[in-house]
């Protein structure tokens, strides 16, 4: 089985033209999926800004012709799920059969974002409950016409969503800790591993919780720092800055190096159980990064456009 690759669009300090050009180039190169992250505020460089997940997702739907398109991942505590159901159903109508909805409980910046934007600060157990309720609400509103939903955090009454999804939209949950892993094992179509070095352990936990690997799409998030050679990759890592290391040492745990080494990193994750590796490009302009991936890394993995 070939290694499936996806591109995570960089939204921090980006403009729409750059993000959409990257989405188009990745699609033409033959990546399996184009992913849109979700960050409401640029914590490191506020004035540089960050693009809206939903806005970029809708815009990317107009230019991505072949690849799947999805969120990786959208934070449910900052969304009203009935409204989200409508937004996602509309985007599904633009890319019929290709939307994937990745959801999470808030991520590293959850508490800071709550303070800045005035959201109620939910304790960890409530955040997990919010994710579960969001999944149930989305599926109810996409499946029933009219739909009724009453939960702890929100409700929806006599809701009719059109255009209606013509198939069940896959829902992927990002999870590291046991409660979220248990939720993914019980209700998700896929699991996203936010840290590559936790992939094997996470799969073992999911199996112990009763979820067979062959019933779950498994993706892994990985920082991607590529170079024409090892020295070029080192320079790219320096340009990427400290933020690239927030998810563990890039050289040891992520996708790093000259094309052969980077391809080996991806193949190793695939061998460990990932069916999809979602790469977060760092250290060089997006057009150069996509070109290097398509020209030198993907052929080594048997992935062609």
What domains does the chain contain, in order, with CATH numbers? Answer: 4-78+92-105+168-301 (3.20.20.30)
Residues 187, 128: contact at Cβ < 8 Å?
no
pLDDT at 60 over 70: yes
Q: What is the pLDDT of residues 183-232, one digit of tens each?
A: 999 999 999 999 999 999 999 999 999 999 999 999 999 999 999 999 99
Residues 6+ apart with CB under 8 A from 279: 5, 6, 7, 8, 222, 223, 224, 255, 293
**N-to-C CA span, the chain:** 16
Give the whole-angstrom CA distance, residue 163 versus residue 90: 6
Residues 92, 20: contact at Cβ < 8 Å?
no
Q: What is the pLDDT of residues 84-125, one digit of tens each?
A: 999 999 999 999 999 999 999 998 889 999 999 999 999 999
Alpha-helical regions (H) of 62-215: 81-94, 110-117, 124-143, 178-187, 199-208
Least confident of 4-13, 37-46, 197-206, 247-256: 37-46
**pLDDT score for 2:** 58
- In Å, the largest CA–CA distance within the chain is 60
**pLDDT score for 170:** 98
The residues pairing with 74 across neighbouring beta strands, listed in sequence order, are: 103
Average pLDDT, the chain: 95
pLDDT-derived band at 1 (thresholds 50, 70, 90) equals very low
């Amino acid at each position: 089985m070939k290694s499936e690759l996806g591109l995570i669009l960089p939204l921090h300090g980006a403009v729409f033209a750059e993000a959409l050009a990257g989405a188009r180039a990745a699609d033409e190169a033959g990546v399996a999926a184009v992913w849109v992250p979700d960050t409401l505020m640029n914590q490191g460089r506020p004035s540089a800004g960050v693009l809206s997940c939903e806005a970029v997702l809708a815009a990317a739907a107009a230019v991505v012709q072949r690849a799947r398109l999805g969120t990786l991942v959208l934070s449910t505590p900052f969304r009203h799920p009935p409204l989200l159901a409508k937004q996602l159903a509309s985007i599904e109508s633009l890319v019929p059969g290709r939307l994937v909805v990745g959801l999470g409980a808030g991520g590293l910046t959850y508490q800071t974002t709550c303070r800045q934007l005035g959201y109620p600060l939910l304790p960890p157990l409530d955040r997990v409950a919010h994710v579960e309720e969001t999944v149930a609400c989305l599926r109810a509103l996409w499946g029933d016409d009219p739909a009724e939903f009453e939960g702890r955090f929100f409700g929806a009454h006599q809701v009719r969503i059109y255009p209606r999804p013509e198939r069940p939209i896959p829902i992927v949950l990002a999870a590291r800790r046991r409660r979220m892993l248990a939720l993914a094992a019980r209700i998700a179509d896929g699991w996203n591993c936010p840290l590559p070095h936790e992939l094997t352990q996470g799969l073992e936990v999911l199996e112990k919780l009763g979820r067979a690997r062959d019933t779950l799409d498994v993706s892994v998030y990985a920082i991607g720092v590529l170079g024409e050679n090892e020295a070029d990759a080192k320079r790219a890592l320096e340009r990427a800055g400290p933020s690239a290391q927030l998810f563990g040492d890039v050289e040891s745990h992520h996708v790093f190096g000259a094309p052969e080494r980077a391809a080996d990193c991806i193949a190793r994750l695939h061998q460990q159980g990932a069916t999809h590796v979602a790469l977060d490009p760092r250290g060089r302009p997006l057009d150069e990064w996509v070109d290097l991936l398509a020209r030198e890394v993907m052929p080594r993995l048997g992935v062609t456009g």
